[in-house]
Amino acid sequence: MPGVPPDNFTIALLGAECTGKTTLANALWQALAAQGHDVVAVSEYLREFCALHGRTPTIDEQHHVAAEQSRRVAAAASRHAIVIADTTALMTAVYSDLAFGDASLYPGGLAEHGRCQLTLLACPDLRWQADGHQRSGPQTREAVEALLRAALQRGGVAFLPVAGIGPARLFGALASVQRAMARR
């Protein structure tokens, strides 16, 4: 990735809606920063898009959402040693496939996701909560999870599941991050 320091470590948080990705991204950021790491969390652009427009993206806007998420992750990676990406373009590809039957974003989403050194998959073990325009309902999580796992498998992307409630979820994710960073 142009402009990315060779020692950069990007962590991708993936998962269906309401699986705690944003909460986990912020908690990981705080924990790693408290340890003295140069770390930043990149928020999910889709959430911002929905708030700005008062709706979810149309099929014609999916590419923009994916590209903007990738741009933001790459920009953060050019300035920080550790990046926590609260999703990647791969999630946009999954939602585009689910909502519109459009699988055209998978190749780009997988290519961009391949720039991440660690993928954490947030398990759907948390209680579902409504969140404005962005969430479809608890029934959607199973379909998203299946599409996401299939895409990761097709792309040969290894991932570590993250489960548990509250501190247990953070502890498991943080342990996975520290092991992965130690192997570098």
Residue range 14-33, pLDDT digits in tens: 998 878 888 999 999 999 99
Residue 173: inside a domain? yes
Residue range 97-108, pLDDT digits in tens: 999 999 999 999
Residue range 41-56, pLDDT digits in tens: 999 999 899 889 999 9
4 confidence band (pLDDT: 50, 70, 90) = very low
CATH of the domain at 156: 3.40.50.300
Residue 4: inside a domain? no
Residue 102: inside a domain? yes
**pLDDT value of position 1:** 37
Q: Are 39 and 33 in contact (CB under 8 A)?
A: yes
Boundaries of domain holding 98: 9-182
Residue 3: inside a domain? no
pLDDT average, residue stretch 153-173: 91
DSSP string, the chain: -TT--TT-EEEEEE-STTSSHHHHHHHHHHHHHHTT--EEEEPPHHHHHHHHHTSPPPGGGHHHHHHHHHHHHHHHHTT-SEEEES--HHHHHHHHHHHH---TTHHHHHHHHTT-SEEEEE-S-SPP---TTS---HHHHHHHHHHHHHHHHHTT---EEE--STHHHHHHHHHHHHHHHHT-
Q: Which two tokens stand for residue 120?
A: 């954490």
Q: Which two tokens stand for residue 40?
A: 């930043």
Residue 142: inside a domain? yes
**Total domains, the chain:** 1
Least confident of 36-45, 69-78, 136-145: 136-145
| Rounded Cα–Cα distance for residues 93 and 108 (Å) | 8
| Rounded Cα–Cα distance for residues 74 and 8 (Å) | 10
For strands 160-162 and 82-85, give the pairing: unpaired
Residue 2: inside a domain? no
Exposure on the CB side of residue 153, measured as CA atoms within 13 A: 6
Residue range 106-162, pLDDT digits in tens: 999 999 999 999 999 998 876 666 665 454 666 788 899 999 999 999 999 999 999
